[in-house]
């Protein structure tokens, strides 16, 4: 899901940091939209680092993207935690004076407010009326916890703990059936690095997001999930077994070892097609007067083709094809040809380059079978793509 985490300016903003982590670990893409005063409590760098997305507070930032409309429209769920008395008042009166309130006016998805403030502010008639107004419009407003507040005071007004916020937020969207329960799946993700010398490597721009989304979706649907991650810096989804690898050869060993017992293997990793024939034992030096350096590359093993050849009955093998169109054929034609060549049960074809695919947050994928026939298309978050892949795997089983 694409979730907007709105953060208003209260001391409890620190708990929203933990909520952000939990939402990310559950596989969701999260766009944090703090108010200006929220940044007094937790800085932009923290939100950006943990969400992996840009953070702005003002409708006049990123005007070309029309962020105040785009963020709300794309959201599957909006959670505002903490929601201060001021934020509740602005939301109730339909203000649009910052990016968060503008987002609240443009989203068409479920909205959850988790208020946190001093007891007097929470019980004030103005706040009560604002909460009643919001609830009458179908917005979910949690009751705050009772207990120690910022100073020596205590009473109703505490932000609930991040785990309960997570449960309350996810309860607003229909849960997926556990239709992968009892299934073992293996997912490779990330991008391999092939050493040139002790400090340099040949690599690629894969972030590992799509593989982690596949893993989070499979866990949510009840599967036992092993992820082979090549150089992924993002936090892995909760509930997976993780094997970290660096090179194509390490990835091959780890995936093949796990594939024997797997009902499905998904190769979402960007595996190097070539590696340096030899990795230099010492750092390669620049030679004065020698402006060129040639490196011999040798082909790596095509792991997907090998998995297809070794596939046992009932096992489904899925590949990903990151394609760019060229003079010979468009993205889909290249993908269909690759599907026929590789023979995987499913190939997820997605266009890359020019800001699409690698590292980006939304994907645009066509699923084709081993004959190159289109069996599905999906546009949306990487989690949406992940669920579409598992839907297709279920059909293939
Ligand atoms: N793949 C693999 N082993 C390799 C290279 C790729 O298993 N040595 C897998 C990838 O994980 C992906 C699929 O093959 O699932 C397609 O990868 P891609 O790089 O698009 O395919 P290539 O056969 O390398 O084709 P191209 O010539 O377009 O690079």
C-alpha 273 to ligand 1 mean position (Å): 7
| Cis before 98? omega within 30 | no
Per-residue pLDDT, averaged over 142-163, amounts to 89
pLDDT at 150: 77
Same domain, 221 and 127: no
Residue 153 has pLDDT above 70, yes or no: yes
Per-residue pLDDT, averaged over 271-293, amounts to 92
Same domain, 66 and 209: no
Same domain, 191 and 312: yes
Same domain, 132 and 235: no
Would 26 be classed as within a structural domain? yes
For 30, which DSSP code?
A: E
pLDDT at 189: 98
pLDDT at 66: 63
Residue 47 has pLDDT above 70, yes or no: yes
pLDDT band at 290 (very low <50, low <70, confident <90, very high): confident
Ligand 1 atom with minimal separation from the 273 CA: 8
Q: Which two tokens stand for residue 129?
A: 């009326």
Residue where a domain terminates, one of 106, 139, 170: 170
| Residue nearest to ligand 1 atom 8, measured at CA | 302
Share of the chain above pLDDT 90, in %: 76
Residue 64 has pLDDT above 70, yes or no: no
Q: Residue 194: give its domain's CATH number.
A: 3.40.50.10300
Helix (H), strand (E) at residue 54: none
Same domain, 146 and 245: no
Contact 195, 201 (CB under 8 A): yes
For 40, which DSSP code?
A: G
For 313, which DSSP code?
A: T
H-state helical runs in the chain: 13-25, 44-51, 67-74, 85-92, 99-106, 119-123, 125-136, 162-170, 209-220, 248-259, 303-310, 331-342, 382-396
Residue where a domain terminates, one of 170, 193, 212: 170
Would 175 be classed as within a structural domain? no
Average pLDDT along the chain: 92
317 lines ligand 1 (CB under 6 A): no
C-alpha atoms less than 13 angstroms from C-alpha of 245 in its C-beta half-sphere: 25
From the list 17, 175, 135, the residue with the least C-alpha distance to 81 is 17
Same domain, 134 and 282: no
pLDDT at 353: 66
Testing ligand 1's pocket by substitution, the residue of 267, 269, 342 carrying the most ligand atoms inside 8 A of its CB is 267
What's this model's pTM, rounded to 2 decimal places?
Answer: 0.78
The residue from 130, 204, 350, 363 that is catalytic is 204
319 lines ligand 1 (CB under 6 A): yes
Q: Tokens 């992820």 correspond to what residue?
A: 227
Structural domain for 225, as ranges: 184-396
C-alpha 277 to ligand 1 mean position (Å): 19
Q: What is the pLDDT of residues 93-146, one digit of tens each?
A: 999 999 999 999 999 999 999 999 999 999 999 999 999 999 999 999 999 999
Same domain, 309 and 232: yes
pLDDT band at 25 (very low <50, low <70, confident <90, very high): confident
C-alpha 255 to ligand 1 mean position (Å): 15
Would 65 be classed as within a structural domain? yes
Same domain, 256 and 315: yes
349 lines ligand 1 (CB under 6 A): no
320 lines ligand 1 (CB under 6 A): yes
Same domain, 135 and 248: no
pLDDT at 176: 81
Q: What is the pLDDT of residues 5-23, one digit of tens each?
A: 999 999 999 999 999 999 9
Angstrom distance (rounded) from CA 218 to CA 383: 10
Count of the separate structural domains present in the chain: 2
Q: What is the pLDDT of residues 205-244, one digit of tens each?
A: 899 999 999 999 999 999 999 999 999 998 888 899 999 9
C-alpha atoms less than 13 angstroms from C-alpha of 121 in its C-beta half-sphere: 18
Same domain, 235 and 313: yes
267 lines ligand 1 (CB under 6 A): yes
| Residue nearest to ligand 1 atom 17, measured at CA | 321
Would 231 be classed as within a structural domain? yes
Higher pLDDT, 53 or 288: 53
206 lines ligand 1 (CB under 6 A): no
Testing ligand 1's pocket by substitution, the residue of 190, 304, 310, 323 carrying the most ligand atoms inside 8 A of its CB is 304
Share of the chain above pLDDT 70, in %: 96
Q: What is the pLDDT of residues 168-199, one digit of tens each?
A: 999 998 878 899 999 999 999 999 999 999 99
pLDDT at 351: 83
Q: Is 204 a catalytic residue?
A: yes
Q: Which two tokens stand for residue 347?
A: 């190939």
């Amino acid at each position: 899901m694409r979730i907007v985490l709105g953060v208003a300016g209260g001391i409890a903003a620190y708990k929203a940091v933990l909520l952000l982590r939990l939402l990310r670990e559950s596989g969701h893409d999260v766009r944090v939209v703090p108010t200006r005063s929220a940044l007094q409590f937790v800085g932009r760098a923290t939100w950006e680092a943990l969400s992996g997305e840009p953070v702005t507070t003002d409708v006049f930032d990123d005007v070309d993207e029309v962020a105040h409309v785009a963020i709300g429209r794309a959201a599957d769920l909006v959670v505002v935690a903490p929601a201060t008395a001021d934020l509740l008042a602005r939301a109730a009166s339909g203000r649009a004076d910052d990016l968060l309130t503008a987002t609240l006016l443009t989203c068409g998805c479920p909205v959850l407010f988790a208020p946190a403030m001093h007891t007097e502010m929470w019980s004030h008639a103005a706040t009560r009326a604002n909460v009643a107004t919001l609830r009458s419009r179908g917005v979910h407003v949690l009751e705050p916890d009772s207990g120690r507040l910022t100073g020596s005071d205590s009473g109703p007004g505490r932000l609930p703990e991040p785990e309960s916020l997570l449960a309350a937020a996810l309860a607003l969207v229909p849960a997926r059936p556990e239709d992968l329960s009892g299934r073992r799946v293996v997912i490779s993700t990330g991008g391999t690095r092939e050493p040139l010398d002790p400090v340099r490597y040949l690599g690629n721009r894969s972030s590992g997001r799509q593989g982690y989304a596949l893993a989070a979706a499979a866990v949510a649907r009840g599967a036992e999930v092993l992820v082979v991650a090549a150089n992924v810096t993002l936090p892995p989804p909760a509930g997976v077994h993780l094997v970290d690898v660096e090179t194509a050869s390490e990835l091959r060993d780890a995936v093949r070892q796990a594939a024997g017992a797997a009902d499905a293997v998904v190769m979402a990793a960007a595996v190097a097609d070539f590696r340096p024939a030899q990795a230099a034992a010492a750092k390669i030096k620049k030679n004065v007067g020698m402006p060129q350096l040639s490196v011999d590359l040798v082909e790596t093993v095509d792991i997907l083709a090998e998995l297809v050849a070794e596939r046992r009955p009932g096992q489904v093998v899925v590949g990903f094809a990151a394609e760019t169109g060229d003079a010979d054929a468009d993205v889909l034609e290249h993908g269909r040809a690759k599907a026929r060549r590789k023979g995987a049960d499913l190939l997820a074809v997605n266009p890359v380059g020019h800001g699409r695919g690698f590292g980006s947050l939304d994907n645009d994928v066509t699923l084709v079978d081993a004959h190159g026939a289109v069996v599905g298309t999906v546009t949306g978050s990487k989690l949406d793509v992940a669920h579409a892949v598992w839907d297709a795997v279920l059909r293939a089983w």
